[in-house]
Amino acid sequence: MRQKSKWLLPFLLLFVVALVGCNSDEESTSSTTPNKEEEPKTEEVSLTIGSWRTEDVAKYEKVIALFNEQHPDIHISFNPTKNTEYNTVLNTALQAGEGPDIFHLRPYAAGLKLAEAGYVEKINDLNGLSVYPEEALMASRDELGNQYGVPINLSSTQFFYNKKIFEDNNLVVPATWEEFIALNDQLLEKGITPIAMGTKEGWLLSLLHGIIGPAIYEGNDFYQAVLAGEKDFTDAKFIESLQVMNDLKKYFPANSEGLGMDDIRTLFALEDAAMFPLGSWEIPVVLEMNPDLELGYFPIPSKEGNKTVTTWVDGSFAINANSKNKEAAKLFLEFLTTKEFGELFVKEFSMISAIPGITSDDALLNDISNSTTNEATPYMWVTNFTGGDPTTKSLLESELQGMYLGQVTPEEVATKVQENAKTWFAPFQK
């Protein structure tokens, strides 16, 4: 027994040492290898975007996908509202302290009203704003220099035309106003609807005046005189521009009073009208409806042969001041200032990017882009006359609808527009 005890004691001592060693190794391992539950996690964020561009859902999905390559944990939903309902829906939501995290901000005074009311976050320190010219940034900048939006695209309005209809009928693009009127008469004689235009929606009429008006009052000269208070809307040339619009009604489709945007777009896309006076944003929409449409455009010519396309910054993206995810929203807005976004935007949207130097493979879009550089006149109803209550722009629209219904004369329209503008437009109050 004494012999067995002699060997048993060292064995027990070795066993205890081994156990202590194992425990020490386990403690060492657990102290150098973090528990999976303690590993830092990237917080996922969800953002919503509000817009009036219901036709661009699939395109913005591509924009979001490109953004997510760098920011996979920021989930974004693009939720647009019909353009004619967008302002009301957005304003109601913002007034309730709600609304999308990011939203399309109407350009110039219309959007700045929301900023003045405290609904829009200032983005003065946002990275990337320096890529834009001052003219583009002014569309969402207040008088104190505060920036509220990232400009997305430049829009232009001009006459689109069906090249095949012109070629089949030996018609040419007009070089003067007289040639433009003669062109319309020729189309009527051939039984072809000259101009796809309706008067049901007021915004189409201020847009049409933005195209037609400069050809009658000689564009930028009158515009600059108005801004200086040297001329106003009772000027004979301005009244003539309204009369000319009234005279053009005979070139519109039958029952034009009942036709809205969707109706006139369809008429042109299905080649039931020769010309379509609208914005550059319509190019992809029309071509999607009819990929075989041979689409051309021309700047409207004046009596003297001067040509103009009407241009402006058509909306910026802004951040809701009540958003709970402002930092993530800022990352998305910074992405919108990049060359990568600009190139994708031009390619997918077929629009003119607000980022300078972004070109397109589309010859038509590049030609229009060149026109916005060389033949531009501001769309003054958007850039300068969205003030007042009702706004001067909206009053013009309702009065033009009345003119087309025969309820008011061009002179009466001009008088009412001037009376409205004088209540708030400082140059008219001198």
| Residue pLDDT, tens place only, 210-227 | 999 999 997 789 999 999
Has residue 168 been placed in a domain? yes
| Dihedral sign computed on CA atoms, order 127, 131, 133, 136 | negative
Helix%, strand%, coil% for the chain, nearest 5: 55, 15, 30
DSSP character string of 35-85: -GGGS--PPPEEEEEEES-GGGHHHHHHHHHHHHTT-TTEEEEEEE--HHH
pLDDT the model gives residue 146 = 97
Residues 262 and 408 placed together within one structural domain of the fold? yes
pLDDT the model gives residue 42 = 56
pLDDT higher than 90, residue 10: no
Question: Which one-letter amino acid corresponds to residue 34?
Answer: P
pLDDT higher than 70, residue 27: no
Residues 240 and 254 placed together within one structural domain of the fold? yes
Tokens 């004088």: give the residue.
Answer: 422
Q: What is the mean pLDDT of residues 280-301?
A: 94
Least confident of 66-70, 124-128, 367-371: 367-371
Query: What are the pLDDT digits (tens) for 139-151?
Result: 999 999 999 999 9
Residues 331 and 244 placed together within one structural domain of the fold? no
Query: What are the pLDDT digits (tens) for 311-356?
Result: 999 889 999 999 999 999 999 999 999 999 999 999 998 889 999 8
On whether the CB atoms of residues 355 and 132 are closer than 8 A, the answer is: yes
Confidence of residue 84 (pLDDT cuts 50, 70, 90): confident
pLDDT the model gives residue 315 = 84
Instruction: Select the more confidently predicted residue: 28 or 390.
Output: 390
Residues 125 and 246 placed together within one structural domain of the fold? no
pLDDT higher than 80, residue 158: yes
Average pLDDT, the chain: 90
Has residue 16 been placed in a domain? no
- Region of 272 (left: φ > 0; alpha: ψ -120 to 50; beta: rest) is alpha
On whether the CB atoms of residues 403 and 246 are closer than 8 A, the answer is: yes
Map residue 117 onto helix, strand or coil. Answer: coil
Q: What is the mean pLDDT of residues 132-140?
A: 92
Tokens found for residue 3: 């012999």
Confidence of residue 31 (pLDDT cuts 50, 70, 90): very low
Has residue 14 been placed in a domain? no
Residues 190 and 281 placed together within one structural domain of the fold? yes
Residues 424 and 293 placed together within one structural domain of the fold? yes
pLDDT over 90 percentage in the chain: 80
DSSP character string of 149-169: -EE-EEEEEEEEEEHHHHHHT
Question: Number of structural domains, the chain?
Answer: 2
pLDDT higher than 60, residue 129: yes
pLDDT higher than 50, residue 38: no
Domain that holds residue 422: 155-311+376-429
Q: Give me the CATH number covering residue 288.
A: 3.40.190.10
Give 272's contacts (C-beta < 8 A, 6+ positions apart).
193, 196
On whether the CB atoms of residues 400 and 209 are closer than 8 A, the answer is: yes
Number of Cβ within a 10 Å radius of residue 31: 8
pLDDT the model gives residue 374 = 86
Q: How far apart are CA 66 and CA 61, in angstroms?
A: 9
